[in-house]
Amino acid sequence: MVPTVEDAAAMFRPSEEHEAFRAAVRELCDAKVAPLAAEVDERAEFGWASYEALRAGDFHAPHVPEAYGGVGADALATAIVIEEVARACASTSLVPAVNKLGSLPWMLAGSEELRQRYLPRVASGEALVSYCLSESEAGSDVAAMRTRAVSDGDEWVLDGAKRWISNAGVSSLYTVFAVTDPSAPRGHGISAFVVERDDPGVSFGAPEKKLGIKGSPTCEVYLDHVRLPADRMVGEPGAGFALALRTLDHTRVTIAAQAVGIAQGALDATLAYVAGRQQFGHPVGDFQGVQFMLADMGMRVEAARQLTYAAAGRSERDDPDLTWFGASAKCFASDVAMAVTTDAVQLFGGYGYTRDYPVERMMRDAKITQIYEGTNQVQRVVMARQLLKR
């Protein structure tokens, strides 16, 4: 069958349902999230009021399937939610983003009993969930992790420390990766587990003092002889490394969406500013040099959005080329976010360098999108290897 023009148009444009979803998220965020963004950043505390606003609108974990009490949003709808929340407040956008990151391993490989036990708690907003993969000496080199899980009868005993964990301490649930077979070949002896915040032996370090996304706490998670029943393992023993990478293939799309949202928020603020700011008797936006910068900003944001949506489609279908699209969307969109927010500060002039306007916060928030869930240097390695495989 030959595709029609209508088929091709649908591939490159979100559906009416997706746009209605966007409108609902934007309305909520403009009213309840954006007004709190500066305070959340200034206080460097988790924004509970913003979280409750998302929860009331069912936007805190839209990816959870309806079978487990969730909205059942597809990958594109979930990306749109994260994009729109990030446009208002990057810290708050980590609520739906990290909820997906932490719970997706359960959806990909967990038993039905484990899904039934935990996914409804995330869907209802009773619990947030975090993803515990990185360690002090195992960031980009995940296979070098030292956290251990030792079998003891019908239980596993976990010892170790995870670092750079988003929403740690706030989350009630944690997907933790640990070495279960030290003798296995590199990367083949790692397994995943669900750890609860109240499990004996679980504790947290002090929140990191960060450049941006200050309203999302980032802490170490300490595991001191934490005993778990065997049914808390996610998937098969030794399959954790592959599960971690497969999860990241999907969730890098959410970081791309976050980056697009931050960039769009900065562009929106800049357009409003240059239209009202007068210099030499004219609005700043009338000057050609400024217009060239605005054109580049808008072009980059839209290019990043289209690549992110294309990656979201691959994520939804679990296409074979998802690894390349996820890495390229995350890398490109985050580089765009950094460039666009930096230009936004420039176009605001001295005001852009102050906290009286939001663009300096957006520039600080944008930086992390080039780093977490794999630095952009790592993404380029991933992309190059995928190209060479072809």
* Burial of 354 per CB tally in 10 Å (0-12, 13-18, 19+): exposed
Q: How much is the pLDDT for 11?
A: 59
Give the angle subtended at the CA of 76 by the CAs of 370 and 167, to the nearest 5°: 50
Give the number of other Cβ atoms within 10 Å of residue 181's Cβ: 14
Residue identified by tokens 């050609």 is 288
On whether the CB atoms of residues 328 and 307 are closer than 8 A, the answer is yes
Q: How much is the pLDDT for 9?
A: 46
* Burial of 350 per CB tally in 10 Å (0-12, 13-18, 19+): exposed
Measured CA to CA, the distance from residue 156 to residue 193 in angstroms comes to 9
Q: Respond yes or no: is residue 373 known to be catalytic.
A: yes
Indicate the length of the chain as a whole number: 390
Residue of 83, 135, 360, 373 marked catalytic: 373
Q: For each of the chain's 390 residues, which pLDDT tens digit applies?
A: 444 445 544 556 789 999 999 999 999 999 999 999 999 999 999 999 999 999 999 999 999 999 999 999 999 999 999 999 999 999 999 999 999 999 999 999 999 999 999 999 999 999 999 999 999 998 889 889 999 999 999 999 999 999 999 999 999 999 999 999 999 999 899 999 999 999 999 999 999 999 999 999 999 999 999 999 999 999 999 999 999 999 999 999 999 999 999 999 999 999 999 999 988 999 999 999 999 999 999 999 999 999 999 999 999 999 999 999 999 999 999 999 999 999 999 999 999 999 999 999 999 999 999 999 999 999 999 999 999 998
* Burial of 317 per CB tally in 10 Å (0-12, 13-18, 19+): exposed
**In degrees to the nearest 10, what's the CA dihedral of 75, 81, 83, 85?**
-150
- CA 280 to chain centroid: 43
| Whole-Å CA distances, 52 to 49, 60, 108, 115, 120 | 5, 9, 28, 24, 17
Measured CA to CA, the distance from residue 53 to residue 55 in angstroms comes to 5
- Domains in the chain: boundaries: 5-124, 129-240, 247-389
Q: How much is the pLDDT for 4?
A: 47
On whether the CB atoms of residues 159 and 224 are closer than 8 A, the answer is yes
Task: Give the CATH number of domain 5-124.
Answer: 1.10.540.10
Measured CA to CA, the distance from residue 184 to residue 187 in angstroms comes to 8
Give, to the nearest 10 degrees, the angle between helix 90-109 and helix 112-124: 160
On whether the CB atoms of residues 148 and 160 are closer than 8 A, the answer is yes
Q: How much is the pLDDT for 390?
A: 82
Q: How much is the pLDDT for 203?
A: 98
Q: Is 247-389 in CATH node 1.20.140.10?
A: yes
User: Shortest CA distance to 260 belongs to which of 74, 86, 29, 96?
Assistant: 86
| Whole-Å CA distances, 7 to 11, 80, 310, 322 | 6, 21, 15, 21
User: Shortest CA distance to 247 belongs to which of 113, 141, 132, 84?
Assistant: 132
| Whole-Å CA distances, 326 to 246, 249, 334 | 11, 6, 12
**CATH superfamily membership of 129-240:** Butyryl-CoA Dehydrogenase, subunit A, domain 2 (2.40.110.10)
Measured CA to CA, the distance from residue 53 to residue 381 in angstroms comes to 39
